[in-house]
Structure 1
């Protein structure tokens, strides 16, 4: 049986360039980290902290007053650590998504390496960067 997995992204043009997302076995995004990190290792450490603290997280759902759609977020020690990947039209869809995220976190694997993302190049495919390039700064 395939497990959900944490995928790491290096986003070009941002100060905090490293981010993570949680993908289901069928490649759907279950949620994403709420914060950016200055290094790949700091981003991996954040995922480990979220996995280790999953029993102490607090979750909340809210609706956007302007567009009327739902979103969720997860906090650990009063710090928002994860958020929904998109908005939901119905509360029950949002709740289902939140539960799927919380259920997947403890057993999800951490993917080695990073996918390079360039937001200016919309529709472009992410480029996988080997982990050894990250520590040496050789990736371009």
Structure 2
């Protein structure tokens, strides 16, 4: 069976005033299970791919010191998680969950897969859509 893997995304932020060459490109990461389910993602994108890859390596090195935090979103009642190191959120859930126990189970899967994750080569291109989903604050 294949191991979990970190996938790196080249995110182009849409900007109607800039030409395609002038658009800001950032790099984000997500951790996928062997069956291609997204287990979690980085909280923030990075300016360069090298910074993003180093952040993933630092996260893997600190895997045993991460603290999972589950939070209910105010308006929907759905649950989201984040993984913190010394109070700083480094990874977040990719989606929200209807029940607290589903959220806790999935953060556990993320933390278990983290040390086994392999880094993929290159980046996948992704155009960042406008954010309409409620996000938890740190």
Task: State the shift of 1:35 in Å.
Answer: 1.3
Q: CA RMSD in A?
A: 1.3
**Which SS does the other structure have where 2:45 is aligned?**
coil
- Conserved? CA contact 1:16–1:36, under 8 Å: no
**Which SS does the other structure have where 1:46 is aligned?**
helix
Which residue is 1:129 aligned to? none
Which residue is 2:11 aligned to? 11
Residues 10-58 of structure 1, C-alpha deviations (whole Å, 9 max, x = no match): 1001757110000000000000000110100100001000000011111
- Which deviates the most, 70-79 or 83-92? 70-79
Q: Say which structure, 1 or 2, has more relative contact order (CA 8 Å, 6+ apart).
A: 2
Which residue is 2:66 aligned to? 57
Task: State the shift of 1:97 in Å.
Answer: 0.5
Residues 53-100 of structure 1, C-alpha deviations (whole Å, 9 max, x = no match): 011111100101110000000011322100000000011110110000
- Which deviates the most, 102-111 or 13-22? 13-22
Normalised by the length of structure 1, the TM-score is: 0.82
Which residue is 2:101 aligned to? 92
- Conserved? CA contact 1:16–1:37, under 8 Å: no
2:33 to 8, 14, 24: 24
After TM superposition, which residue ranges in structure 1, 4 or more long, deviate above 4 angstroms?
A: none
Structure 2: gaps of 5 or more residues: 15-23, 130-138
- Conserved? CA contact 1:24–1:30, under 8 Å: yes
Q: Distance in 2 between matches of 1:28 and 1:12?
A: 23
- Answer yes or no: is 1:118 the counterpart of 2:127: yes
Number of positions where the alignment pairs a residue of Structure 1 with one of Structure 2: 120
User: Where do residues 124-139 of structure 1 align in structure 2 (5 Å cutoff)?
Assistant: none
Q: Distance in 2 between matches of 1:68 and 1:76?
A: 25
